[in-house]
Amino acid sequence: MRPNPKPKQAKQSAFQTWRRCRDAVMSLMIRSSGYTVVISLLLMFVYLGYQVFPIFKPIQVTPIETERLSEEHRSSFQWHPVNLDPSALVYRLAENQRSLLTTTSDGGIQQWFWLMGDAGTPASFQKVHEFTSHRAPILALIPESQRRGFLSLDQQGHLAIHYAPTGETLWSGYLTNEPIKAYSLSSSNQILGVRLASGETRYWHLLNPHPQISITSLLHKVQYEGRNQAEWVWQSAPSAEYHDGKYSIVPLSIGTLKAAFFAMLFAMPLAIMGAVYTAYFMPTRLRNWIKPSVELMEALPTVVIGFIAGIYLAPLIEAYLVQVLFGLITLPLYLVLLSWLWSIFPDSTHYRLKSSLWVLLIPALVAFVWALPYASSLFESWVFAQDLRQWLAHHNIDYAQRNGLVIGIAMGFAIIPTIFSLAEDALSSVPKHLTEGALALGATPWQSLQGVILPTASAGIFSAIIIGFGRALGETMILLMASGNTPLVNMNLFEGMRSLSANIAMELPEAQAGSTHYRVLLLSVLILFVFTFVLNTLAALIRQGLKKRYQQL
């Protein structure tokens, strides 16, 4: 902003001042809105992080002065005497009697589950978790109310806070050196009172709002009550019996990746090959039509695609599974065969039909679809010797109506335009003189594509794939409507999945703000956000590098 030259006349000077003011105001407004955008971007990260952070906050145990608690409050405490016979402490952790705790004389605590044996063997108690934070005999096991954590106190005045379902000790430390006579835990699980042998009473404030969440419970297999082995479980719906949610983000992450993987498997070949054809083999006039129509395709609301996939495609695929699978595999082979047949025809026909090859393909495709049922039933009886679904059942492969195949096709369809349009941009902006040079040296169009264009544009195509992958990771509606939303940990094409995004859309409206469930959901959003942000940045950097390279060529 260069200052305007000093005006000479007074009248003009007023005008100049006004102009300068206006300049300043305008500049301020524009700068501030620029900053607003940057700040709101940062705010999204920071705010989500800030909301997620409390679940990872270490537990705080702070002494409270007795005077700070009101008389009423203190009188509401129920005092329990400590157990002085350390070998006999057995504690039923919950009313359902499926889990109990025992202590040993050296301060060890074991957790036992009442488990059904494998076929035939009777149910029995089995040791599942062991807590080894104490060095002295245990005086008391104190269950928390409303949840499955418990506290343990030993003869040396050592306190430990545990969470039974994950078998983790969350905090441990010394409270006092004096012998303890009785204890009391408030119903909010927040205030622990201890009565000492000297008659003194002391209180501690325990800040432990999210005992369920730790790196272990989020990422590792955990053996929950009533289950025979450690598993990754996402089960947020609080049933009466197990009202602590099981929050493993592994099934959701696997579901997200599985869906994205199958979608990419479907979309990548179609989009990239389509882009190659559009950028390189298609007459310009037609290309001017194709590009906008693909862009239009990108704007198709995913709720519509999800609806068609969930209501029509899923039952269709279930009914015609063999045909669909067989078609997906044989269609490329069929096209290769066609191209070979085509090469048998003399060159003059080629020349005459060259630009309308694309149109010719449509009747060929129709013929393919017409022949598909016959060919596939032949194939089915030849390879599987029975119905494919029976074959799957025989080999213990589960089949769900809304499955990976449906998602692969539907979401693949949704991300084709994204990949196509970026890949086409990368391919068509390869400098013309490169191809012309290759052609002049006698290369066939295919050879010049293979040797010159594809290597030059490969980085751009790669960035297109990354962007497409990012979009598949974050897609919500298609997954919500057509994936079955079962939190499974497998890569079976014929089973459903639950993705992070669909899970958020389903559960967040019901989650109470500030609760553990809410914060874990925000954590999954943050993961999605950071992951796609990194992917997109990578793609942007690749594209930038490519642009520079094109300019140098």
Partner 1 sequence: MNRWLSGGHAWIWLSAGALSVSLLLVAILIGFIAVKGLSHFWPAPIFDVHYHEQDDPSMQRLIGQRISYQSTDQGTQEYLFRRSEAQAAYQDFIWLTDAQINTMTQRPELMTLEHRTFGRLIAEPILLRLSPTSTITPPPVDWPEQIKTAQKDAQLTLLLGNGEALTLNLVDILEIHFPNQLSWVEKMQVFGKGLLQFMVESPRQGGTEGGIFPALFGTVITVLIMTVFVTPIGVMAAVYLHEYARPGWITQTIRIAVYNLAGTPSIVFGVFGLAFFVYTLGGSIDQLFYSESLPMPTFGTPGLIWVSLTLALLTLPVVIVSTEEGLARIPKSVREGSLALGASHTETLWRIVLPLTTPAILTGLILAIARAAGEVAPLMLVGVVKLAPELPLDAEFPFLHLDRKIMHLGYHIFDLAFQTGRTDASLPFVFTTALLLILLIILLNLSAILLRNRLRVRFQDDKKPI
State in angstroms the smallest separation of the CB of 317 from partner 1: 14
Distances (CA, A) of 186 to 24, 80, 146: 61, 12, 12
Shortest Å, Cβ 319 to partner 1: 11
Helix ranges (DSSP H) in 224-320? 250-276, 284-298, 302-308, 314-319
Nearest to partner 1 of 105, 444 (CB atom)? 444
In the complex with partner 1, the residue whose CB is nearer, 24 or 397, is 24
Alpha helices in 345-451 (DSSP H): 347-353, 357-383, 388-394, 404-428, 432-440, 445-448
* Smallest separation, CB 65 to partner 1 (Å): 31
* CB closer to partner 1, 340 vs 370: 340
Under a CB-based contact definition with an 8 Å cutoff, are residues 248 and 218 in contact?
Answer: yes
Q: Give 102-159 as a 3 state SS string.
A: EECCCCCEEEEEEECCCCCCCCEEEEEEEECCCCCCEEEEEECCCCCEEEEEECCCEE
Q: Select 62 or 293, whichever has its Cβ closest to partner 1.
A: 293
Quote the tokens at residue 77: 């405490």
- If the CB atoms of residues 177 and 512 are measured against partner 1, the closer one turns out to be 512
Judged by CB, which is closer to partner 1: 332, or 455?
Answer: 332
Q: Within 13 Å of residue 31, how many CA atoms lie on the same side as its CB?
A: 6
Cβ neighbours of 77 (radius 10 Å) = 20
Instruction: Give the nearest distance from C-beta 344 to partner 1 in angstroms.
Output: 9
- Tell me the pairing of strands 201-207 and 99-103: unpaired
Are 195 and 182 in contact by the 8 Å Cβ rule? The answer is yes
Integer CA distances (angstroms), 553 to 429, 433, 468, 550, in order: 11, 9, 27, 5
Q: Which lies closer to partner 1 via its Cβ, residue 296 or residue 397?
A: 296
Least distance between partner 1 and beta carbon 464 (Å) = 12
- The answer to whether 521 and 503 have CB atoms below 8 angstroms apart is yes
- CA angle (326, 332, 335) in 5-degree steps: 120
CB of 494 to partner 1, least distance (A): 22
Write down the residue that tokens 């590009």 correspond to.
Answer: 291
Closest distance between partner 1 and the C-beta of residue 119, in Å? 39
- Compute the least distance from the CB of residue 500 to partner 1, in Å: 9
Residue 172 in contact with residue 160, Cβ under 8 Å?
A: yes
Residue 55 or 473 having the CB closest to partner 1: 473
Cβ 539 to partner 1 shortest distance, Å: 8
| Closer of 285 and 395 to partner 1 (Cβ) | 285
